[in-house]
Structure formats: structure tokens, C-alpha cells
Amino acid sequence: MVAFAQDRFGSLDVLVNNAGGVQEPYFPDGEPEHWGRAIDLNLRGVMLGIHFGVRAMRGRGGAIVNVSSVGGIGFGPYDTPEYGAAKAGVVRLSASLATLKRRMGIRVNCVCPGWVDTPASRRSRAEMSPEERGKVPPVLLRPEEIAESVVVFVEDDSMAGRVMIWREGSPWRLVPVDAPY
């Protein structure tokens, strides 16, 4: 992907890591190979994207925006722990890489949306019981809104290591850098 961008466009200036998913049985019921795939997709994939993206942006600068999830925010119980843990890892990883701006001119930031109206979320909601579906917010974010939040990070050269939370039905907000635990 990175090599394609460099060959096709001459450089890589913006990288968006946006992948996610998890399948039953969830941790701890599933076997390590099963829940390990969720960790690989949701955290390791982002790390690999950053690794190769930074190599391509070194000496030029650029912006990397990681899409995590509100499932990675907070300390309460979560039904898919391997997904929540991986997405929390993406949040922490993104914030930890704020120093890349000073060192290399590469800004890494993170968007944490709630439920987004996508084919995958429609399938998930269709498979839910009425009780489970009742816990899903009635207003979902649109993919275009998430794209707009990514653009905020791409266009604002002052932000690095920042985390944006966008819950359904609310405006997005930046988590303060010195936010309490």
C-alpha cells in the first residue's frame, strides 16, 4: 500500500489506519488463535501501517490518523474485551507518538468514534436481540462524519498525539493531553 502510494503519487503524505472487527467467541471463551486475529487486525495492523508510513514520510513529514473506537475508552466492562483492549492500545500508541512531530515532522493522531452506520454495523445490529439492539444508540454517526474528523487532523499542523472522541448524537471533542485516568 505504501509502495503503491509512493509509485503512483511520488510520496506518502497522509496515512489513515482504519480497520476493525471481532468475531465470536470472544475472549476468554475463544482460543488464542481466534482472539489473536482480533488483536492482529485492530492493533498490530495499525502498528504495521505506522511503521511503514513513518519510513515513507521520514525526511518529508506527514500526517497519520488512526481510527480507534469508543470501545477502547474507559474502564468499565466491555462485551468484546479483545477488541476493546486492541482499540485502547491504538489510543495509547497514537498519544505516545506525539514526539514524532518534533523529531520527524510526522503527526500521529487518533479518532475514536461510537457506532458508525456501515454495512458491518448494520449486520451486527440485525443479529442482535431486541434487548441488545435497545442498548445501541438510535442515532449513528455517518462515515462521512468520520472522514471529516480525519480531515481536521490532517489539516491542523498543531495537533500531534491527540485523541478525538465522537459519540453518537454529540459533537466530537478532543481529550485533554493531561486528562486524568
Query: Which is the catalytic residue, given 26, 78, 83, 181?
Result: 83
Cα–Cα distance between 45 and 62 in angstroms, integer? 19
pLDDT at residue number 181: 64
Domain of residue 32 covers 2-168
pLDDT digits (tens, 9 = 90+) for 121-166: 888 888 889 988 888 887 789 999 999 999 999 999 999 999 999 9
The reply to whether 29 falls in a domain is yes
- Annotated active-site residue 83? The verdict is yes
Greatest alpha-carbon span in the chain: 53
More confident residue, 104 or 20: 104
The CA radius of gyration of the chain, in Å to the nearest whole number, is 17
Cα–Cα distance between 23 and 17 in angstroms, integer? 20
The reply to whether 176 falls in a domain is no
The reply to whether 173 falls in a domain is no
The reply to whether 178 falls in a domain is no
pLDDT at residue number 53: 97
How large is the average pLDDT for residues 8-15? 94
The reply to whether 181 falls in a domain is no
| 107 burial level (CB within 10 Å; 0-12, 13-18, 19+) | buried
The reply to whether 28 falls in a domain is yes
Q: Is this model's pTM higher than 0.95 or not?
A: no
180 pLDDT higher than 80: no
pLDDT at residue number 107: 98
Count of the separate structural domains present in the chain = 1
pLDDT digits (tens, 9 = 90+) for 21-78: 888 899 999 999 999 999 999 999 999 999 999 999 999 999 999 999 999 999 999 9
pLDDT digits (tens, 9 = 90+) for 89-124: 999 999 999 999 999 999 999 999 998 988 888 888
The reply to whether 179 falls in a domain is no
CATH number of the domain within which 99 lies: 3.40.50.720
The reply to whether 177 falls in a domain is no
